[in-house]
A = this chain, B = another copy of it.
């Protein structure tokens, strides 16, 4: 049996003999970059039906026909952590999406705060980065990319019963290990959120609003000032290690 060289995210349902159509960048990658062709095997996943072995039937420039052969891995239950972050200029946002996907985030929500360095975000680019990272890291789902929200809207619509961990650089937070120990019982973790502010921090007014919300937990990430993307990755890794799926 040939070695499976690539994992592909598909939208189609997966079942024995299901026909799958791979288009766009993925088809180009299969046919032109990896030069795979009829009979070669790929792994496919859709976030719902586990991971399947797929056989390439035809590989064209713009589309590939693949048939699902058999299930390789069942769909696991994943911790349901949301990362809400202020978009960063340049490649910072790409970086957050890639690393958070590798670290098993369930949902990504861009949040525009007063000091956020950019006022728009490319949802489609976020989605593509999340898919590519999911394919690469072996996970069986792609994080949902939520619609970008303004800070006030985000806070007002956050579900009151879900703890929202806030990376607090002002020194008023509690150690992350201490905060997470409150949620050590299984099941309690399923709808947590992690909110990371912009490089310039939250404004005084935003802090007042955050303090007024009973679901916000202020966490401390050590004595050094972390860049926004470092804070996101560091907090997420600790969350997975302490109460997630590590």
Chain B residues near A227 (CB-CB < 8 A): 102, 136-137
Bound Cα distance from A103 to B176, whole angstroms: 14
Decide if A226 is an interface residue (CB 8 Å cutoff). Answer: yes
Question: Would you call A2 an interface residue if the criterion is a C-beta within 8 Å of the partner chain's C-beta atoms?
Answer: no
A139-B230 contact given A238-B237, A238-B241, A242-B177, CB 8 Å threshold: no
Are the C-beta atoms of B176 and A224 separated by less than 8 Å? no
The 8 Å CB contact of A137, one of B139, B225, B240, is B225
B-contact bits for A175-188, CB 8 A (1 contact / 0 none): 11100000000000
A interface list, Cβ under 8 A from B: 76, 99, 102-104, 136-139, 175-177, 220-227, 230, 233-235, 237-238, 240-242, 244-246
Can you list 15 A-B pairs with a CB-CB distance of less than 8 A? A102-B230, A103-B222, A104-B222, A104-B223, A136-B227, A137-B224, A138-B223, A139-B223, A175-B241, A177-B241, A222-B240, A223-B246, A230-B233, A234-B240, A238-B241
